[in-house]
Copies of this chain bind each other. A is one copy, B any other.
Amino acid sequence: MIIFLKPNLDPKEEKNLRRFLVDRKIEVIPVDRKQEKLLVVVGRFGELAKREVESHPAVSRLLATDRPYKLASKSLKVSSQIPLKNGPLIGGREIVIMAGPCSVESKSQIQKMAKFVRQSGSHVLRGGAFKPRTAPYDFQGLGKIGLHFLRLAADSQKLPMITEIIDVRDIELVEKYTDIFQVGTRNMQNYPLLRELGKTRKPVLLKRGMWATYKELLLAAEYILIGGNEQVMLCERGIRTHVQETRFTLDLNAVAYLKHETHLPVIVDPSHGTGRANLVRAMSRAAIAAGADGLLLEVHFDPRVSISDADQAISVEELNKIVKEVKKVAQAIGRS
């Protein structure tokens, strides 16, 4: 159950309602959203309590929801759109394409890439400055200077940017640079990180854990949403299965399911979801046809010399083809 407070409520009245709830042993979590304030009820809520609360002067309305993810659930809202400065509306009619290298490697590399990303018709520049690498001996990203290069490159092409956050202590730093926070698959259940991102007011792209069920992904989003940050998008990026020919199994069932269950936009990462550059184009088309709101693509000038993830990065030429084909598929299903 969600309790919506009346707009412009006198703090005294709110306090009064909270005391009223405490008296009835109704536990709530307050959520301050941009346009409204609400209280999410934890646990059961009897019929009697419901009627009493409904008629409380501080309450505008109640919303019943049978899902464990109350704020992510479609019963709260049909669909969410996330606006981006200099960019498209994520979750709108138009498909959003985020593209760029796995890692920022140098100022000139990312500058050059930003230009190609813009020319291809893509909308957002991606690039990693902090990299969560399986081995401590692998390249861990350029860090702060990488963020700086990425920002410069994005600005030079009037593109918004997205980059990964891996340490809860870096949020303030990363927030200064990025337009979208990316939470990687390994951090989907890093709850302190999610809670802190809920306190920021910048969009968050939350990647599905490679082991997670759909419910777990939605509940992870809920950790951000209860902080009052409404700008969350989900990202399917492949799950661990027994298949050996691809690095991960891109689970597009997840896209179709999530579009039924949540109002949050759904992005697909076919680069990690296949791990093979020659499958990315077909799976980009498939993702859009399944209902995804956008794509996250790993691009490199010369995939043979990429510092990391070489097998899955596509060339700039391939990116151009993907943007074109994906738009045709989008149009075929009534989008653009």
Contact = CB atoms under 8 A, between A and B. Distances in A.
A285 to B, nearest CB: 4
Interface string A182-210: 00001101111001000000000000011
Nearest to A241: B241
Interface residues of A, number: 74
A166 interface: yes
A332 B327 CA distance: 9
Given A166-B191, A282-B291, A252 B255 contact: no
Nearest to A252: B286
B332 A219 contact: no
Interface string A86-109: 000000000000000000000000
A40 to B, nearest CB: 7
Interface in A118-139: 132-137
18 contacts: A135-B219, A167-B168, A168-B168, A169-B169, A186-B189, A187-B190, A209-B211, A215-B245, A239-B242, A243-B251, A246-B253, A249-B249, A249-B251, A252-B283, A253-B283, A260-B279, A286-B290, A328-B333
